Every structure is written in structure tokens, then in C-alpha cells.
Amino acid sequence: MRQADLPAVEAIEREIYAHPWSLPNFADSLDSGYQCWVVRNPSAALAGYFLVMLAPDEAHLLNITVAPAWQGRGLARLMFERISTIARSHAAPAVLLEVRPSNPHALAVYRHVGFRQIGVRKRYYPATDQQREDAIVMRLDL
């Protein structure tokens, strides 16, 4: 992912999520040196992206998104293969992530690739009407 990709990344975020990451969120991740990757379709348009924060003992998946036109084509599986490779190359024993309980599609994908629930973060995400939503914490052992 490069700075030039950010407008397209942000557009996909806004199309998919009720509470999307902002362009500054993505820019900060790039500036922080996180692993920020994009996947392009055969015509070089953005089809998906992911961001991983590496720590000494884990890889934390901050965001993974597949553009609507490319969902259901195995792109998420390919991205998880790359994420696992990145994590292993940095000696991370696991990949962690948080997901909204209100996102059953993402939960199903994560379980399908081997993640398991290890906890809950109460009131983690912003939600509608000034409410907060819990986060399910998941782990993929490598």
C-alpha cells in the first residue's frame, strides 16, 4: 500500500462499513511502518487490502477488506496466506484480530481459515446512537 492508494482504500471502506476507517487512520498506519498491503484485480484496480501491526510476540490484523465486486472469489483466503507468511517471517506465533459480533460474514471467514475466539473486549467499537459494540477477540495459531 502506498499513499497514492489511500483514496481508493478509503472509498472501499466507506462503501462497506457503517463505521469506516478514515484516510488519516490508513496514513498513520503507513507512517508507523505497519505491514500495509493491497491486492489488485487483473485490470490493476484495487480488489482488497490488509494492515498488520507486528509486535515481538504477535501479529495483530488491524483491517482486512475485500471490495464488494471481489467477495466470494477466494481473495480473503489468499490474503490470509500472505498474512500468515508475514507473521511467520517475523517469528510471530499467532495472528490476533478483533471483529464485531454484528459482522457474521467476517466471523464465518475467520473461523473458516482457523481463527478461534479467545475473548471479548467490552464496548470496543463505536456503534449507532452513541452506543458501543463489543469486539470478539480471535487468534490464529501459526
Q: How far apart are CA 97 and CA 135, in angstroms?
A: 9
Q: Is 85 helix (H, G, I), strand (E, B) or coil?
A: helix
pLDDT tens-place string over residues 28-44:
999 999 999 999 999 99
pLDDT tens-place string over residues 97-137:
999 999 999 999 999 999 999 999 999 998 877 789 999 99
Question: Whole-model pTM?
Answer: 0.93
CATH of domain 3-141: 3.40.630.30
What local confidence, expressed as pLDDT, does residue 127 receive? 84
